[in-house]
Amino acid sequence: MEQPPGWTWQDRAEGSIPRGSALDPSVDPVEGVRAYPTAYLPDRLLLTEALGGDDGALDQDLKTIAEAAESFGWRIEVGPVDAAVQPGDRRAARRATARRTGRDLAPGVPGLLRVLLTTPDEAGRGESPAPPDSWRVLQRARRISRSSMPRAGLEHVLSVDPVGLNPFSRTNPFSRTNPFSRTNPVRGVGPVGTDDYLEPGRGARQPVAWIGAAPMRGAAPKRGRRPVVVVLDTGCGEHPWLPDDIVTHGAELDGAPIGLTGDDDPERFPDLYGQLDGEIDAVAGHGTFIAGLIRQTAPDADILAIRVAGSLGVVDESVFLRALADVIELKRRNAKDSATGHPIDVISLSLGYYHETPIDGQYSLTLYALLRTARELGIVVVCSAGNDAIDRPSFPASLWAWPGADNGIAPDDDAPLVSVGALNPSGRSVALFSNVGPWVRAYAPGALVVSTTPPFTGGMQPSTRSDFDDLPRETVDPDDYRGGFSVWSGTSFAAPFVAGRIAAALGPVLAKGGSPSNKVVRKVVDEVLKALPSPVR
User: What pLDDT band is residue 177 in, cutting at 50, 70 and 90?
Assistant: very low
Question: What's this model's pTM, rounded to 2 decimal places?
Answer: 0.88
Tens-digit pLDDT profile for residues 250-299: 899 989 999 998 888 999 988 887 766 667 888 899 999 999 999 999 99
- Tell me, what's the pLDDT at 103? 38
Predicted confidence at residue 165, as pLDDT, reads 35
Q: What is the mean pLDDT of residues 302-313?
A: 93
pLDDT of residue 5: 52
- Residue 190 — pLDDT band, cuts 50, 70, 90? very low
For 29, 249, 250, the CA distances from 244, given in Å and listed in that order, are 52, 8, 11
The pLDDT assigned to 179 comes to 38
Q: Which one has a higher pLDDT value, 19 or 366?
A: 366
d(C-alpha 398, C-alpha 243), whole Å: 34
Domain limits, the chain: 223-530
Q: What is the mean pLDDT of the chain?
A: 84
Long-range Cβ pairs for the range 510-517 (8 Å, 24+): 510/221, 510/224, 510/225, 510/226, 510/227, 510/345, 511/221, 511/223, 511/224, 511/225, 511/226, 512/221, 512/223, 512/224, 513/223, 513/224, 514/224, 515/335, 515/378, 516/378, 517/378
pLDDT of residue 53: 53
Least trusted range by pLDDT, from 108-122, 292-306, 400-414: 108-122
Q: Is residue 320 very low, low, confident or very high in pLDDT (cuts 50, 70, 90)?
A: very high
For range 322-342, the mean pLDDT: 88
Worst-scoring range by mean pLDDT, 121-125, 171-175, 456-460?
Answer: 171-175
201 pLDDT tier (thresholds 50, 70, 90): low
11-25, 140-154, 171-185, range with the lowest pLDDT: 171-185
Least confident of 139-143, 148-152, 482-486, 525-529: 148-152
**DSSP-based three-state secondary structure for 454:** coil
The CATH number of 223-530 is which of 3.30.1330.10, 3.40.50.12280, 3.40.50.200, 3.40.710.10? 3.40.50.200
Q: How confident is the model at residue 398 (pLDDT cuts 50, 70, 90)?
A: very high
B/e letters for 469-478, b = 16+ CB within 10 Å, e = fewer, are: eeeeeeeebb
3-state secondary structure of 294: helix
- Report the range of poorest mean pLDDT among 117-126, 166-175, 194-203, 470-479: 166-175
Q: What pLDDT sits at residue 102?
A: 39
Digit-coded pLDDT (tens) for 57-103: 888 899 999 999 999 999 999 988 864 333 333 444 444 444 444 33
Question: What's the full length of the chain, in residues?
Answer: 537
Instruction: Compare 501 and 178 and report the one with higher pLDDT.
Output: 501
Residue 173 has pLDDT above 50, yes or no: no
Q: Is 463 helix (H, G, I), strand (E, B) or coil?
A: coil
DSSP letters for 168-230: ----SSSSPPSS----SS---SSSSGGGGGGSBTTTB-EE----SPPPP-PPPPSSS---EEE
- Asked which of 40-44, 268-272, 409-413 is least confident by mean pLDDT, the reply is 268-272
Q: What is the arithmetic mean of pLDDT over 193-200?
A: 73
Residue 3 pLDDT > 80? no
Q: How confident is the model at residue 478 (pLDDT cuts 50, 70, 90)?
A: confident
Question: Is residue 472 very low, low, confident or very high in pLDDT (cuts 50, 70, 90)?
Answer: confident
CB distance 118 to 112 below 8 Å: no
**pLDDT band at residue 325 under the 50/70/90 scheme:** very high
Q: Has residue 321 got a pLDDT over 80?
A: yes
Region 46-61 average pLDDT: 73
The pLDDT value given to residue 192: 58
